[in-house]
Structure 1
Amino acid sequence: MGRLPCFYFGMSASRNRFIVVVIAAAALFAVADLLMLSHSWVEVDPSGFIILAKTLALVTAIYGLGWIVTFRLRSDRSRLALGMKRYSESLKTLSQALALFLPLSFLDCLFMYLATATNKPLVDSNIAAIDSALGFDWLAVVQALNSSPIMASILMFAYTAIGLLMIGLLFLLALSSETDALMEFIALIAVSSAFTGFLMMAFPTAGAYAFYAPPHDAYSNFTGMGGLTHLQTLGALRSGSPFVFHINKVVGLVSFPSFHCALGIIMTYSCRRTYWLLVPVGVLVTIMIPATIPEGGHHLADAIAGILIGLASIGIVSAVSTRRRPAATLVTEG
């Protein structure tokens, strides 16, 4: 059987499996959040649930709009109608993915804050020891990269662009003729988020900037924002003082492993069927990964762990989505 047309309106078995993966990851975070909240000094601002509910209502309205257009034009075979139905189906696909992605992100961010609110000792010295064993001198590398303003600008651009690229990829995959591509991407994010969250809880770190405390001259051509902006929040969470979690004020707190690297790997993989997109995304990710060291403030081991998480997530989601082929039957003539 050939490839399904881009106007196929059904729900494939693979997409159903991707949905199950996302729901399972969200449920895992929800259970962990509830258990941790019961003995944490972190409280949740109730307005966050209102924001989530309003956003999901908007997503539902978008889905409804797509459904209405598809229904009204169901018998129209004109070129204009087919085009409108195609984009309506894309709207429905995008809204379905966002309906899963948004609650997952909320629960994941809350977990990240709850996991950071601990008095467990930081293990940056152990992570730095791994770098040293690999022959990697973090400060020397940062200084070398900082010596070229042009190189620093390129690395900073790649590091900051990855977030915008992820948003753009959501829309591009929704428009793709591969009907399962977007839901596969959300499933990959779900699995990599689960890996990242529970590893950061097991191995709390503050990041390379906090550990090495380099002079500003060592990274003057970088902002270092990825490795510095979270330190105030991290300190507040680890202080034991009451802390209120606001979903609209979330900052990234994960140093080990690097979620930037994991996300880069799965984004590149998700573009594998779209060659005109694969090359620029692959180039950007290739530049972004080393940028996580001077701009993101990651140890080398953080980046390696993030890459491995991305690859492991691809393996798991690929295994889940693989359909068993029915056993061949032998036909004989009577």
Structure 2
Amino acid sequence: MSTALALFLPLLFLNCLFMYLAAATNKPLMDSSFAYIDAALGFDWLAAVRTLNSSSIVASVLMFSYHAIGPLMIGLLFLLALSSDADALMEFIAMIAVSAVFTGSMMMAFPTAGAYAFYAPSHETYSNFTGMGGLLHLQTLTTLRSGRPFVFHIAGAMGLVSFPSFHCALGIIVAYSYRRIYWLAAVVGALVAIMIPSTIPEGGHHLTDAIAGILIGLACIAIVRAVSTKRRHATTLVTEG
């Protein structure tokens, strides 16, 4: 457990700092481009949010799943540490680190403010959602992009990523990592499946953000698995030699 925390807590700090630095760019926002891609895919963001908002029950389920990603990650960290499966624990932490590098780099290359900032919907459009993921970060993002002095406090750090959806990337990684805990795997998988569409009304993401986040999650799994397999193969050769 101490090893896990010694790795995870500094990673959490560096991840947040990297995202803040990535957001501090004066490149033009690309929300209009992603809205265009969404439209080309036949997706109407405002219509989708209105539809999901029409049922308070559906909205409550989506919000619960959206905000469950943090507890799921912490729970997984503790469960893997308590299982004494060091390889599984290191795999999970490695995937989080790789996903942060991908997400921060793409965030810096393709800056966006999010769908709420772009569409500016009336409150009635999302009245059953908090919209916190799509609105709370806007003032901080504006300050960072302005070039004015900014003091980073980890205690007050918030999610700044719009493209790609870090929520979706983490969801894919978490669902994959829970495969080793068979009695929870199906439940977590179902929760993540609900969480992904929740990133649109609750997180304020474009559909393109969610798709990119899913692809990053899958890519991180593939990369870490490939490196892990290569390392085990090299270890086996050295042992046999």
Shared topology, TM-score over 0.5? yes
Structure 1 unmatched ranges of 5 or more:
1-93, 330-334
1:279 is the counterpart of 2:186: yes
Cα deviation 1:124-166 (Å, max 9, x = unaligned)? 1111111111110000000000001100000000001111111
State the partner residue of 2:21. Answer: 114
**Cα distance in 1 between the residues matched to 2:157 and 2:96:** 18
1:243 alignment partner, SS class = coil
Residue 150 of structure 1, aligned match among 50, 57, 82: 57
Structure 1: which amino acid aligns with 2:135? Answer: L
Structure 2: which amino acid aligns with 1:145? Answer: L
Structure 2 unmatched ranges of 5 or more:
none
TM-score in terms of structure 2 length? 0.94
Residue 292 of structure 1, aligned match among 174, 199, 209: 199
Q: What are the equivalent positions in structure 2 for 1:310-325 lying under 5 Å apart?
A: 310-322=217-229, 323-324=232-233
State the partner residue of 1:175. Answer: 82
State the partner residue of 1:15. Answer: none
Q: 1:245 to 1:177 in 2, by over 3 A?
A: closer
1:305 is the counterpart of 2:206: no
Cα deviation 1:96-128 (Å, max 9, x = unaligned)? 122122222222211211221121110011111
Structure 2: which amino acid aligns with 1:237? Answer: L
**Cα distance in 2 between the residues matched to 1:158 and 1:182:** 23
State the partner residue of 1:95. Answer: 2
1:221 alignment partner, SS class = coil
Which ranges of 4 or more aligned residues in structure 1 deviate by more than 6 Å?
none
Residue 109 of structure 2, aligned match among 202, 207, 212: 202
Aligned-residue offset at 1:179: 3.2
**Cα distance in 1 between the residues matched to 2:77 and 2:11:** 15
**Cα distance in 1 between the residues matched to 2:17 and 2:112:** 18
**Cα distance in 2 between the residues matched to 1:111 and 1:266:** 20
Structure 1: which amino acid aligns with 2:167? Answer: H
Q: What are the equivalent positions in structure 2 for 1:253-272 lying under 5 Å apart?
A: 253-272=160-179
**Cα distance in 1 between the residues matched to 2:86 and 2:111:** 39
Residue 221 of structure 1, aligned match among 111, 128, 135: 128
**Cα distance in 1 between the residues matched to 2:13 and 2:84:** 29
Q: Whose helix fraction is larger, Structure 1's or Structure 2's? A: 2
Aligned-residue offset at 1:177: 5.1
Aligned-residue offset at 1:282: 0.3
1:163 is the counterpart of 2:59: no
**Equivalent residues, number:** 235
In our comparison, the structure showing a higher alpha carbon Rg is 1
Residue 252 of structure 1, aligned match among 159, 164, 170: 159
Structure 1: which amino acid aligns with 2:128? Answer: N
1:262 alignment partner, SS class = helix
**Cα distance in 2 between the residues matched to 1:303 and 1:187:** 22
Structure 1: which amino acid aligns with 2:221? Answer: I
Structure 1: which amino acid aligns with 2:83? Answer: S
**Cα distance in 2 between the residues matched to 1:326 and 1:117:** 46
Higher relative contact order (CA 8 A, sep 6+): 2
**Cα distance in 2 between the residues matched to 1:272 and 1:165:** 13
State percent identity of aligned pairs: 76
